[in-house]
Structure formats: C-alpha cells, structure tokens
Structure 1
Amino acid sequence: MTKQPSPWEQLRPWPDTDPGFRLNPDGTARFRHAGHLVDVLVRYTTEEDRTHYSATGDEANVIVFASVDVGGVTVGRSWWATDWSNPHHMHDALAYVLPEAVGEAERTVDKMAAELTKIRATRQGELSTRATRATPRGARLSSLALLG
C-alpha cells in the first residue's frame, strides 16, 4: 500500500491555486482571529469522516479543523470539509472555521464565568474562598494562642 501524499506536500504550479495561507509540514497552522489564537489542522478525509462529519461527495477530500485553547483546555472547535485543490474552497473553509471556533470559545468562557459566579454566590462558594481571603496577622496569632 502506497502512502498518500499530504495535500501540503503537493506542489501548486500556478499562483491562482494558492489559498492565501501556508501550513506547517504536519498540516497545522496558527492564526490570530479576533484576539484569540486559533490552531488549525488540515488532513485528508477518511471513510469514518464521511459518516461522522457528513462529508459527502468526492470534492470534500480534506477536513479543516480549528480549535481555541485556554490554559490547555479546548473551549472552542469548528470544522469544515472541503476540496484541497480549489483555493477558493480552502479560503472559504478557513473563513468559516476561524470565527466559528472563536465564537464557540467565547460562548463557553461566558458560560463558565456565569457558572463560577453562581457557585461563588452559594454558601459552598463562600467557604471555598476562605483560603484566599486575607486574614489580619494579629487575628491569626491570637487563634494559635488559644490552641496552645
């Protein structure tokens, strides 16, 4: 079985076939969109992809994935199946996945912030901040004196 060449390993002989961005040798790239870093991965579709991502038709031969991470946690994702050989389709795929991933990341962070606010408003949340509350030095020493 011969290894299928990666799309980014193939030469683009005409300038009009350039999608306007470059990928690393492993098919990845990083873009800044709306103040967020977005990691992009482009890879060939598989039969499983065609089922899972509803990538139908022969023209969808690659999938463009985008993800936004905050502190090592992925908070936004997006994908688009497209045709590698058509630079307009590749450009459109990138134009779709970048704002979608950023939008999902912002919605996720907003939900997390609202949930954190709700937790802090509860009795359990108030107790959980006890370790971070400033305690006057004198009060701490007098508490130790009572124990001794």
Structure 2
Amino acid sequence: MSPRAPSTQALCGGQLRNLRELSLRSVGSIGDGGALAALPALHVLDMAWCHSVQGPAVATFARRLRSLSLHGCEMVGDDVCAALALPGSRIEHLALAFTRVGDGGLLALACGSPGLRRLVLAAGAYNLWTTGLWTEAGLREFQRLRPEVVLELASC
C-alpha cells in the first residue's frame, strides 16, 4: 500500500502545524486559499497557476510568509500587496506575474515591504495571459523607490 498524501483537512486541521514549505503549484482547485491560514509555521508558499486562489483570502496570512508565488493567480490583485505592506510583513521573494496587481499594489510594496528583495512580474509584451494592471510609469516609480529589489519580468 502506498502512503497517501495529506488531505486538505490534515494540512489545515492542525496535524501539520510545523509545515514550513508548501507547493500547490498548478493544483486544479484549492478553493480561495484561505484555509492555509491554519498553518502557523508556513514561510514558503507556492500557489502558482492555482486559478481559484483569491487575493482577500491570501491577504489574511501573507504577512508571515518569506516567499510567496501567486504567479498566474488571476483573481489576485492589489489587496495582497496592501497586506504585505502592513507592519510585520516578512516577505522577501514575491511572484505576481499574470495577476491583476496594478500601480497601487506596486506602490504599497515599495513603501511598506522593507524586506522585499525579489519581485517577479509579467513582461507586458508577447504574452497570452493577463500581465497585470500596472503601467510602465508605475513600474518605474517602484524601481525609483526600491532600486535594491531585483525585478524579474516573466513571459510565457
């Protein structure tokens, strides 16, 4: 008999309270992502291409993460950036390519996420998916305010 993967109930029901890293990359439907708030030790989370993930749900626990990939999560917007800009945010690496993050989200990150070291956005040209709602002017302002942050422009 092969070992079974932990269920969502096990993940979020307290049985894996010490889980520090989790990849749910390309998992079909994981709900809005809010159930992951029940994992207090989680510091690294990859939810790339999990299309059901919603910004407000992730925003409830995003500040405690050091690395967060929401690459391709089309229902994520500036609300996650606003949460990461609140005092106590630990975010260092953030992937927001192919989300609905706009200039307001970039400005929030620039002004309120002092630990941010790497940011991934989607390149504006030659992409089939939504590349974000940010403008070139908003991106330039982010870079002016936070020149030390490594900016990566992803493409498909």
TM range (shorter): under 0.3
Q: Going by fraction, where is helix more abundant, 1 or 2?
A: 1
Q: Going by fraction, where is strand more abundant, 1 or 2?
A: 1
The TM-score with structure 2 as length reference comes to 0.18
- Larger CA Rg, structure 1 vs 2: 1
